[in-house]
Structure 1
Amino acid sequence: MASDRDILPGWVKPSHYSLSLHDLEFGGNFTYQGSVDIKLDIQNDSNQWNDIVLNTFQLKIHSAKLKLSGSKDAPRPTKEISYDEKRQRATLSFGDAIQYSGEAVLSVKFEGVMNNVMAGFYRSKYKPKGEVPASVAKDDEFHYMFSTQFESCDARRAFPCFDEPNLKATFDVLLEVPEDQVALSNMPEKEVKKSEKSGFKTVLFDRTPIMSTYLLAWAIGDFEHVEAFTKRKYNGKNLPVRVYTTRGLKQQGEFALDNCHKIVDYFSEVFQFDYPLPKVDLLAVHEFSHGAMENWGLITYRTTAVLFDPKTSADAYRNRVAYVVAHELAHQWFGNLVTMDWWSELWLNEGFATWVGWFAIDHLYPEWNVWGQFVTESVQTAFNVDALRTSHAIEVPVYDGLEVDQIFDHISYLKGSSVIRMLSAHLGEKVFLQGVADYLKAHQYKNATTNDLWSALSKTSGQDVNSFMDLWIRRIGFPVLTVAEEPGQISLRQQRFLLSGDAKPEEDETIWWIPLGLRTGSSASAASLHKIGALTQKEDTIRDIDDSFYHINKDLTGFYRTNYPPARLLKLGEAKDHLSVQDKIGLVGDAYANAMAGYGSTTGLLALLKPFHNETEYLVWAQITTTMGNVRSMFSGVEDISQGLKKFNLELVKSAVEEIGWEFKEGESFLTGQKRASLIITAGLLGHEGTVAEAQKRFDLYISGKDKDAIHPSLRSAVFGICVKYGGESAYNAVQNEYLNTTSIDGKEICLRSMGRVQDKALAKNFMNFIFSDKVAMQDKHSGTIALANNSAVKIEVWNFVRNNWDLVYKTLSGNMVVLERFLRFGLNKFVDESVADEIKKFYEGMDVRGFDKGLAVIDDTIRGHAKYKERDERVVREWLAEEGYL
């Protein structure tokens, strides 16, 4: 056992599983019976042994026996089976001591439950479309499909196994299912036979490649599919690509299907390694804790991440589906073909898949400006999380598999991908991808570490990648680069950026390698890159600067904040028309973050934003509206400042929203449509009279049934949200009714977010009770809560509900700690009052908080940072608003 991690004994390793599931109970207790034969490699020459330890969780092992290779003795049965529930293990004791090394087969018979917590082998409820076979599981209101979710450590919920990522094996899977239902797994069907059980069949699938347990998958249900084929040939054949859905939804898989086969071909070329399996299946799962899961050959998705209806879906979901499909396909190579050695290197999977997923979408949809989207969504979000003391390094020690769920977070995904983007920009895209291809070839079907990737990239690029990337991966946080000006030169100083702005000397010892991306010239349009490429020390002076114009961190490729002198910040704002979309996003994001931390000021941010009233780019507007929403939230409890900021914000968006209008024009770009939706909801929630009136008119026509086309699908979120805010209980009830009856695949998400706009505390309490009713699927409970948590008027009702109903919250969500942790982290992190942080801290004192302890620490850190910012800037913001005529 390694000292820094709790892993299974290393002298027993699996090489193959033959897994069979039968007697599935489609109702009642939803139990199933299973058997698994595990071929083992035992290497224990020096010691006698009498037991084998493996992972199980919430399974009942009926019996187990061990057959030693070459032995003429009968298989040895277990004398005792004991469980360690906390460590999710079972010990199979065989009585008399054994001294043996070599191959063996462990045969286990067991019983499990198809649970309803979106982990392991579980059931998803849905309302069917069309005729449904009688064999499909159902209750009074819902039908059920069945599928798996094993990452990170939930294969052990479905069958006894050695559930660690570097214990790879091959798998044979056999499922007994009703004759009129479809069974899927990682590989194609090998053989289908009639079962001895009437009305059932057994489906045996081809053997998988060697892979980790968390990538195994199967599904059973009333499925149909759409199909296409890759254009490239693989082993002489065009690969079949399918999107599976429950009955009646398959046509909504066409968009994902079209992207899928193109991306498989594209990645096969980019990675210089052909997709290695004989098929690609995508499955829409009705209840899903994550966005999607990259099971090799059978990728599972939340419905809104894979289905899209051009007639009824909001166009934002087109972007989401394309990206999530690409992200999961990237994993087929980066994660599945080559797998991280241990969960501490989760970022190797997720950070890379995030970056290369956007890379593929940029290839397919260059008009979407996906790198602008990446900067305003991924990079800024990563900054916000990593600015907390309670952040963690990209590569973080993980003691056991049960800890890993809390690092499936914005650091692993978004900071990881941001750092990958920074490295790719430095090495050059072509060189970087060649290094990645070399890494995949060298470690195919094996496990690898971060250092293995750095070695491949170093060899390809001729640079010592580890020397400048190691600190970015293994140290917490990121720097802010503070600029001081003198004629013809600038001085730069790096320090750790903290939201609280008070990094102690021992927290600020890292000296990051910082690619400067410094442009300077007589004007913004004439600027060119400076010869100094990177800052590699704590402070430095850069000469030969034309102080007519300079700008640092071109296209925000470096993962750091820049803190300019106030006058320079204003000049850059005035030159915005000569900056890229990414540059403008970075300018606004940095100004806000520096104000929060005290390196800059909110007044400097507001002054910077004034010239942006005529901004034309959607992605820049997205950053502006997010930033102003955050500032307004910080001061929402201060009446005069709150009103002044609202007036300022409304003035900022007024001309833009009036110019763009409500109608979607033929041939209009995707980004224009997104800008319209963003501006309308922003202006409407701010109280822009024309927008509110138009929204209410369209809402009345839609809800009354007089004109169901009155609201464009991409404007439902805006119209519903505006009308709930200003329409009170009647509008809230109408949207709740829409939630219960919508047939649009994205309708439930949109309705929940809109219902969270309520302004009345009684309605907010009603909303939380609704969220925790059986009418809201488990996967949606935290998304509805996030909407309310972002609502300054009633966000306290989230905390009130949690503490007054903790037993209900815990019982409902703790079956899947990922869901509970996210619910708390995003539901309770918007407060600006330290007394609330004190209440939360006191409430959880003495409780067993394993599984969501890191989330609680982030909540505490965030709230206290917010409170410090509000206290520091309140007076100067009030003065600025008064001087500018907003008070």
Structure 2
Amino acid sequence: MTQSREALAMMDGTTVTFSKRQGYVLSRWGIALIAALFLTAIVATGLLVYKFASCTQNEHGGACAKDGVQNGRASVPVLPTEPGVAPPAAPSDAPKLDVRLPRAVKPDSYKIEIIPFIHEGNFTFSGKVSVVVNATEPTSNITLHFNDIKIYEDSVTVEEHESVADGSHRPAEGKHILVDRLSNDTARQFFIIHLGQPLSEGKQYRVSMSYLGHLNDMLQGFYRSSYIVNNQTRWIAATQFQPTDARRAFPCFDEPALKAKFQISIARPRNMTSVSNMPQERESEQMKDLPDYTWDHYGQSVPMSTYLVAFVVSDFDHMSDGNFSVWARHEAIQQAEYSLNIGPKILHYYEQYFGIPFPLPKMDMIALPDFAAGAMENWGLITYRYVAEERSELGVSTNSNKQSVATVVSHELAHQWFGNLVTPSWWTDLWLNEGFASYVEYLGVNAVEPSWKILEQFVIFDLQNVFALDALESSHQISIEVGHPDEINEIFDRISYGKGASIIRMMDHFLTTEVFKKGVTKYLNSRKFGSSTQNDLWEALTSQAHVDKVLDSSMSVKEIMDTWTLQTGFPVVIITRDYNTGTVHLKQERFLLRHKTENSTTASPPEGEGSTLWWIPITFTSVDNPDFNKTQPLFWMKATPTLTLPPLSAAPDQWVIFNVQETGFYRANYDLTNWRLLIEYLMDRDHFSQIGIINRAQLLDDALNLARAGLLDYATALDVTRYLANELEYLPWKAALNALAYIDSMLIKTGNYDKFKIYLLGLLENLYKHTGFTDNPNDPQLTVYKRVNILSWACSLGHEDCVRNSVLQFQNWRSSPDPDRSNPISANLKNVVYCTAISVGGQDEWDFAWQRYRKTNVGSEKDILLGALGCSRETWILSRYLDRAVSEKSGIRKQDAARVFAAVASNSVGQPLAYSFLRNKWFRVHEYLGSSLFTISNIVRSCTKRINSPFELSDLMQFASVHHHELGAATRAMEQSLEQAGANVKWMESNYEPIVKWLANVTAVAAS
């Protein structure tokens, strides 16, 4: 699954249950009856008035109610113990709940029939599932997962099955197994069938049942979505099952290792279409009981995990290139053309890269109006947010949007092998899925768009981006034990994605790409259509590394990589040169943003973590013979606290740089002499470009973050930034601005912010003149990015020419006769122009942009406007905007609520408003957004990241304490926010005055 690029690391997993008014007592034919009554408008409500009751025994054998008996047997749904109420939180000292299924039976194949009723006011679906299971040991219980669905007790049957010559199964005559009773374990989401006789080891059985579900609006399980055409609402039904929501659509063995084959039949309205993982196996057929509905029958799939099952019912159009198709709304189908152009090419590239043909007969990609994550890698049916697949070629979408579409498509296609063909045995190794796809996506995009230099961009967008999160004590291991769905949801974050990708990139470099690819192919072939752990990958890579002699026979990939996946955090390597002998002393310790302790030069490690050590590949180069291409390690720090290198060739007056191309996942800190040598060289405008672009970006990012952590004085770190006045490359500037943004956010509400503004505007001036305000469509990708970043900062800092240009262009747009059809603003500059004009404008500018947001059907344009609308300086406008983000029918989709909060919170005026809204209207926000996988977590992070005063911190601590039981999957996000806020407070206490003093000195020197 791809996390949304607009709101990376956007998760709350609280259980949504039916209210009592949604339950009905029905016979096994009740589902068809509802549908027939609804579709023919023959409403006979008296037939549906039964007394509601649950007729299942509990785990302790309690008797069930006998209301609603039909043919001598109760015919009611199996429901959670108390509908609408989440189970009470367990005490903190309670034993951890084991949510893993018993292994006495394992699924072999599923047959699923499902009928969604996509009508406003109904939104139900009926289903029937038959699962052939293998008994691996004698057992009298069959346990499946279910959640938020109602299983009809009288439909539950178990019968022995036998294989026939063609490999299929059929009932063994007279071998029905008595179902003694049924029960459910709400806390673990288990549905348990208690049998009158034990199953026999080695035999197969078919378990069948019918059920009723609800097409929810929480973007999980089988859910409903809608869009507007000519003021009419069009409804669709779609799925999102990862990680644990297949059980919301059909009872199943909902664990990734329990793979099975799936044969799906979907009933759809005749004026709509359906699509699923596999192609249709035969012609559609009209339903006998519902003449307005048609059955679509899909072929049996390859063995796969439940979370990869997918189906969508919609009225979308599609375009195809051979067996590769894209689907989108009729009015947006042309916007998906770029996805169709690159998709087959990337798929072919991966077939070559992995050395394994794509295992399925077709590939569909569909852009959904409502989707919680960025995209989902369902096997053969990838689902996207419509902004992630659709892009306009008509000057509406930006270069960054085009790159976002390409990376998301590439990411999900990479999953077809790494995640789908071979799946982690349990969510502990989620990072194997997401980290690998997050790295390989760059390779896929580079294969189709080489001019973008996207492999260089990795350092900025993934590696340096995740450093900030992993530098917190509340970070977590890449490979981490998880159980409850809330815990699983928590780890869909930048650690699993960005850090996972970064350490895989590190492996690619220290093994060499050729050896790495061979090892990955060996791993995939050995585990295909099955599951694995990270140790299986380590074994394959080690085997290949030994064959090709890139690792000594005494070393293993497991020994190296376990230090990166089984430990929290990452190291800083402290490099001290002996300028007399030429030797270099290396010391490693965990890098933490937590402020240094008093009278200490380094941050002390948390209790119990003093021995945290990593295997670190050491690469370096020096000014006498600079080589910024060789990334194979020259030495290894083999999980030792110190290492002394032999004398270097660099003279005492020459710099050295460690971590070439920043391929190692660590920060490098030098003695002050080497820092001064680097600063002097960077300030030489004729020679600084001899240092590789990626390593210039690394020096800036490392220096400013080492200072933030108290490991380097800010005077030295800020001195590194002074050379930027002559820097014209995108990557160093982007790294610097990302790091300087923290200082900006800390100082912006202080009386000395003007000094920081003056310094930054001085650095920016040369590049501002060089890039200009005019967007040239023929400019290279990184030139476009550079211009957008510089203009964004210049305008936000009040650069007169930048602000004037933005306001003029926005007013020209407002003055056009038809602003929805004619927009003179270049797509790439829209972020800058919209935000600046709204910031310096008032209600008229905001309302104009709001109307454009409501009327456009281009996803990327909507996203730009959502961000820009948060730029207003009017507090009442921002408060109204936040209110609309959590209001039905405001025009803002639930999936975009976090985007609104982030936009407002990134505004210095809006941040306290966003946090106050979250705090004061928590129950409204939580109830409205429910258990959306990412949204609540992202809102918590964005609303709190600028907190830097003791009073604000105290208030946040109280808020977290009061609501800790309701945070669900956002618990870790709140812990990280509390730690970050505490670090911000300490940072202000220690660094505010030294930075102001440095800025005053630099300003005075410049003025003289």
- From 605, 608, 617, give the equivalent of 2:720: 608
- Which residue in 2 is equivalent to 1:61? 151
Distance 1:486 1:730 in 2: 65
Query: Residue 481 of structure 1 aligns to a residue in which SS?
Result: strand
Superposed counterparts of 1:246-325, under 5 Å: 246-311=329-394, 312-325=396-409
Query: Deviation at 1:531?
Result: 8.2
Distance 2:540 2:213 in 1: 43
Query: Deviation at 1:606?
Result: 1.9
- Which residue in 2 is equivalent to 1:127? 228
- Which residue in 1 is equivalent to 2:811? 700
- Which residue in 1 is equivalent to 2:493? 409
- Which residue in 2 is equivalent to 1:544? 647
- Which residue in 2 is equivalent to 1:823? 939
Query: Deviation at 1:111?
Result: 0.4
**Alignment check: 8 A CA contact 1:524 1:550 kept:** no
- From 729, 734, 739, give the equivalent of 1:622: 734
Is 1:103–2:204 an aligned residue pair? Answer: yes
- Which residue in 2 is equivalent to 1:233? none
Query: Deviation at 1:78?
Result: 4.4
- From 308, 315, 323, give the equivalent of 1:222: 315
- Which residue in 2 is equivalent to 1:235? none
AA partner of residue 585 (structure 2): S
CA pair 528-357 structure 1, distance change in 2 beyond 3 A: closer
Distance 1:623 1:4 in 2: 43
Distance 1:419 1:386 in 2: 13
CA pair 762-629 structure 1, distance change in 2 beyond 3 A: same
Distance 1:526 1:477 in 2: 26
Query: Deviation at 1:838?
Result: 2.5
Query: Residue 121 of structure 1 aligns to a residue in which SS?
Result: strand
- Which residue in 2 is equivalent to 1:17? 110
Query: Deviation at 1:115?
Result: 1.0
- Which residue in 2 is equivalent to 1:232? none
Per-residue deviation, residues 679-712 of structure 1 (Å, max 9, x unmatched): 1111111100001001000001112325734210
- Which residue in 2 is equivalent to 1:511? 613
**Alignment check: 8 A CA contact 2:619 2:633 kept:** no
Superposed counterparts of 1:43-442, under 5 Å: 43-45=136-138, 49=140, 51-62=141-152, 63-69=155-161, 72-73=173-174, 75-76=176-177, 78=179, 80-94=181-195, 96-101=196-201, 102-128=203-229, 142-191=233-282, 192-196=284-288, 197-229=290-322, 240-311=323-394, 312-442=396-526
- From 103, 118, 121, give the equivalent of 1:28: 121
426-435 or 706-715: bigger deviation: 706-715
Query: Deviation at 1:529?
Result: 8.3
Per-residue deviation, residues 845-870 of structure 1 (Å, max 9, x unmatched): 25413322111111111111122112
AA partner of residue 354 (structure 2): F
Query: Deviation at 1:577?
Result: 1.0
Query: Deviation at 1:75?
Result: 3.8
Is 1:784–2:890 an aligned residue pair? Answer: no
Distance 2:632 2:828 in 1: 43
Is 1:867–2:985 an aligned residue pair? Answer: yes
Distance 1:597 1:3 in 2: 35
AA partner of residue 698 (structure 1): Q
CA pair 739-603 structure 1, distance change in 2 beyond 3 A: farther
Distance 1:513 1:361 in 2: 30
**Alignment check: 8 A CA contact 2:945 2:977 kept:** yes
- From 772, 779, 797, give the equivalent of 1:686: 797
Ranked by relative contact order (alpha carbons within 8 Å, sequence separation 6 or more), the top structure is: 2
752-761 or 684-693: bigger deviation: 752-761
- Which residue in 2 is equivalent to 1:591? 703
Per-residue deviation, residues 768-809 of structure 1 (Å, max 9, x unmatched): 112112321011100111122222233111111011111111
Distance 2:214 2:749 in 1: 49
Per-residue deviation, residues 803-824 of structure 1 (Å, max 9, x unmatched): 1111111101223243222322
**Alignment check: 8 A CA contact 1:834 1:863 kept:** no
Superposed counterparts of 1:662-673, under 5 Å: 662-673=773-784
* TM-score, with structure 1 as normaliser: 0.94
Q: Between Structure 1 and Structure 2, whose CA radius of gyration is higher?
A: 2
Per-residue deviation, residues 276-324 of structure 1 (Å, max 9, x unmatched): 1000111101111111000000000111111111221111111111111
Query: Deviation at 1:645?
Result: 0.8
CA pair 344-34 structure 1, distance change in 2 beyond 3 A: same
- Which residue in 2 is equivalent to 1:581? 693
AA partner of residue 945 (structure 2): N
% identical equivalent positions = 30
Query: Residue 608 of structure 2 aligns to a residue in which SS?
Result: helix
Distance 1:356 1:398 in 2: 25
Distance 2:676 2:872 in 1: 37
Distance 1:114 1:852 in 2: 24
**Alignment check: 8 A CA contact 2:626 2:691 kept:** yes
CA pair 723-518 structure 1, distance change in 2 beyond 3 A: same
- From 805, 828, 849, give the equivalent of 1:735: 849
Distance 1:368 1:387 in 2: 30
**Alignment check: 8 A CA contact 2:509 2:631 kept:** no
Per-residue deviation, residues 632-687 of structure 1 (Å, max 9, x unmatched): 112223211x1111111111112212221222335321221222221111111110
- Which residue in 2 is equivalent to 1:795? 911
CA pair 716-447 structure 1, distance change in 2 beyond 3 A: same
**RMSD of aligned C-alpha atoms?**
2.1
Query: Deviation at 1:79?
Result: 5.1
Is 1:716–2:830 an aligned residue pair? Answer: yes
Distance 1:84 1:727 in 2: 57
CA pair 528-33 structure 1, distance change in 2 beyond 3 A: closer
- Which residue in 2 is equivalent to 1:236? none
- Which residue in 2 is equivalent to 1:136? none
Distance 2:498 2:98 in 1: 25
Distance 2:936 2:629 in 1: 50
CA pair 171-588 structure 1, distance change in 2 beyond 3 A: same
How many residues are treated as equivalent by the alignment?
Answer: 861
- Which residue in 2 is equivalent to 1:844? 960
- Which residue in 2 is equivalent to 1:134? none
CA pair 372-830 structure 1, distance change in 2 beyond 3 A: farther
- From 647, 655, 672, give the equivalent of 2:766: 655
Query: Deviation at 1:738?
Result: 2.0
AA partner of residue 796 (structure 2): L
Superposed counterparts of 1:427-576, under 5 Å: 427-462=511-546, 463=551, 464-487=556-579, 488-500=582-594, 501-504=603-606, 506-522=608-624, 524=626, 532-536=634-638, 537-545=640-648, 546=650, 547=652, 548-573=654-679, 574-575=681-682, 576=688
- From 749, 765, 771, give the equivalent of 2:879: 765
Per-residue deviation, residues 416-460 of structure 1 (Å, max 9, x unmatched): 010000011000001101100000000110001100000000011
